Structure 1
């Protein structure tokens, strides 16, 4: 199949994606971004499309996978790890007043610790923190998978040691 034929088939079969994107995201702007990313990925992976298969199902799968991956990245970014030894607070529900000043200081301390890491550990750790998977990081940095895993592990150990000192 030529690029022109593929592009024509793609433009003829994309209208069903817009309502599906809105259903997934429940936000018009995010739906437009998801739709655009889906078309980009379809064009970028044109050679992976098997001629004669259902293009709508192929596009639907691409959109669904992009949405799931983005959702997982956002969920991972919003994960908060509590390493405090005050376990009684976990099971004892009490009203608490938020202290934004302390939270801001802690965030700044963590960010300073991360940026104080040696470059060899900082880059893979930041990518992992942004939600990328180990194999994606290994591909981006051109390093073996085991090397990436160990660098992220050592970055965590260094951060923990540095933050425990404060």
Structure 2
């Protein structure tokens, strides 16, 4: 498919992207921006499109991934908590300050014990994910299918949640 043909086909499909973009963003201006960014990425990455495959699905995938990446960027940026409003500053005498880390230490010991109770096949991928490995990296290192890795991490979380249910917050 030539660049001109590709451009023509993509431009004809642009209006069909708008409803899906609106469903993702729930804002008409943001939806227009998302469609525009999707089309820009499609034109820039035209060489990555395989002729004979579903162009519409490819465009929807670009749009969805663009939306997810933008959402993750926004939530990561706004997730830092400013605790200055919650901290009350009182002039205190250093002799009156007491630190009690016992309850935190008990909880941490319970967490470590719960992790140790996990079967090795669940504990290893869970701990790798916990320290920062991505699913694909864990899959490569353990020579397991990525679906198996995701499932084992899910099962480990489920078992840990059950084991540590005494620490759950009551709503």
Q: Output the TM-score relative to the length of structure 1.
A: 0.49
Q: Output the TM-score relative to the length of structure 2.
A: 0.47
Give the number of the structure whose alpha-carbon radius of gyration is greater: 2
Q: Which has the higher contact order (CA 8 A, sep 6+)?
A: 1
